[in-house]
Amino acid sequence: MSVSISKILQVLDNPEALENWRIRVGHEEAERISKRSASIGTAMHKFLEHWIRDNKDCVDQTEEGILGRKMATKLYEQGIKHKLEDCWHMEAKLKFEDYYHGRLDLAGIYYHQPCVIDFKQANKPKRKEWCWKYMCQLAAYVMAHNKTFPKRPKIKKGIVLMCAQNLHLQKFELEGKELIKAWNHFKSAIRFCKDNNIYEIKPEHFDKINSFRRGLNLY
């Protein structure tokens, strides 16, 4: 049975650290922060999708929408404009055989290369080594895209374009040996989830997940 990429990625994160943060700030405040971040990310993606794919504007006057527009503008002007030569797909559904499925942000020709591009919002700028889960997600998108759209040129590169809420833009690239490493980690996560039947993270799973992550040197 095919499983969503997001469920598999959970075991590449540190759920115990997330739960400790929720306890530290309080569950109500943690929920507020998480919902606000999700709303900003949704708005940012909405603006980018309208501008790139539909070539039209949209309006969102909520607090999250106003910030999302600013972040999308920064990302578009410095990360996409004059760099994206051909947009093949946006919000395309992907599937890798019966193992996993997902929906990518964008695939096309970027700086003369076929690429998968993933848009991310962040509360603050991040170092690449803190974003390994995103690299594994990119690898999963690249491989699934090549399976789903075999008539397209083969993609061998993924890019994360991340805009923080202070409008600092970052670009993380994934290709070559690093792409293969991320793909192998994602495949290991698929096997771990299947072997342990872990698709909804609970506190009783923390020890197993931590042991799995140590085996991948994710600490």
Q: Write out pLDDT tens, residues 66-102.
A: 999 999 999 999 999 999 999 999 999 999 999 999 9
Q: State the DSSP H helix or E strand holding residue 120, giving kind and residue range, or none if neither.
A: strand 113-122
Q: Structure pTM?
A: 0.94
Asked if residues 218 and 132 have their Cβ atoms less than 8 Å apart, the reply is: yes
Residues in the chain predicted with pLDDT less than 70, given as ranges, are 219
At 219 the pLDDT is 53
At 218 the pLDDT is 72
Q: Write out pLDDT tens, residues 40-60.
A: 999 999 999 999 988 888 888
CATH number of 3-215: 3.90.320.10
Percent of the chain at pLDDT exceeding 70: 100
Euclidean distance between CA atoms 14 and 19, whole angstroms: 9
Q: What are the residue ranges spanned by the domains of the chain?
A: 3-215
